[in-house]
Structure 1
Amino acid sequence: MRHRTLKHRFVRNVPRELEPGVLYISMEYATAVHSCCCGCGDRVVTPFTPTDWRMTFDGESISLHPSVGNWNQKCRSHYVIQRNRVLEASSWSDAQIEAERRRDKRAKAAHYGSEHEARTAAKELPESLPVRRSATTQGGGAWSRLKAWLGQ
């Protein structure tokens, strides 16, 4: 990991150019964005939703839960952000990533849809799904706000 600590900045809108080592947090858009901590420069978006990330601010530092796994990025980095510190986590196998994709799909269906839809979604899982812990996850209303915020 190139960045072992992150500074946090509460912002309304995230700048186009991200400063490495800075975690930008928008409470209005319920999202945090940062440049990948491995140093590759990829933009990492972590939305705060019941099925994605949770952010804790203790008055001095930020923690994100769960871990950040950039499975769709070339670097495939995996780390935890805890009290502004970046803790490198173990790599995941393709099987672990696919299992997490299935779990995420079921969690989203259960939260945003009916239990029947959750079971159906799990059975009809496509081969290639975005990973829960990446910027490409698709979801409900929070994603609409996030896309508008990012100018897409």
Structure 2
Amino acid sequence: MKRNRYVHQFAELIPEHLEQGVLYVSLTYSTTVHLCMCGCGHEVTNPLSPQQWKLIFDGRQVSLTPSVGSWGFDCESHYWLENGEVEWAPAWSRKRIAAGREATRRRIKEAIDDPPRRQPEPDSNTAKKSLWARTRSAVGRRT
């Protein structure tokens, strides 16, 4: 049975038996898991990362972006999970599916080949001074 709504459940570990209409979120493992919203019973896993899916939590509801395409299953379901509602999306052609998969692979490869740069550690003397002490020191240098 095709679903139009879902609820979320935060969990460190994903339960062994999943309930239909529940989006399980493991922040510990940066993953979401749910049963396909079409009702086919297939388990859908969405890794959370800047190159794959992003989870938005507004304090009450969660959303997942981009859309979920279950193209590896017979159902080939395609939908958005947004604020507790399943928004059904149009089917994609084989060509568009292949292009989407290739774009995702490219984003992941680029992130591995060129990881984000770490910000330099602040000067330990500056970091230990309070804002007030740094302000007094800066003002004192001007006079």
Same fold (TM over 0.5): yes
User: What is the one-letter code of the residue matched to 1:79?
Assistant: Y
Aligned-pair identity in percent equals 40
- In the TM superposition, 1:107-118 aligns within 5 A as 107-114=107-114
> Match for residue 52 of structure 2?
52
In the alignment, what sits opposite 1:2?
2
Aligned residue identity for 1:63: S
Equivalent residue number for residue 119 of structure 1: none
User: What corresponds to 2:63 in structure 1?
Assistant: 63
Greater Rg by CA: 2
What is the alpha-carbon root mean square deviation over aligned residues? 1.0
1:43 Cα deviation from its structure 2 partner: 0.3
| Bigger RCO (CA 8 Å, 6+ sep) | 1
Instruction: Report whether the alignment pairs 1:18 with 2:18.
Output: yes
Structure 1 runs of 4+ with >6 Å offset: none
The one-letter amino acid paired with 2:102 is: R
The answer for the alignment partner of 1:76 in structure 2 is 76
How much does 1:105 deviate? 1.7
**In 1, Cα distance between equivalents of 2:9 and 2:56:** 14
Unaligned runs of 5+ in 2: 115-143
Paired positions, count: 114
Structure 2 length as normaliser, TM-score? Answer: 0.77
Deviation at 1:3, TM superposition (A): 1.2
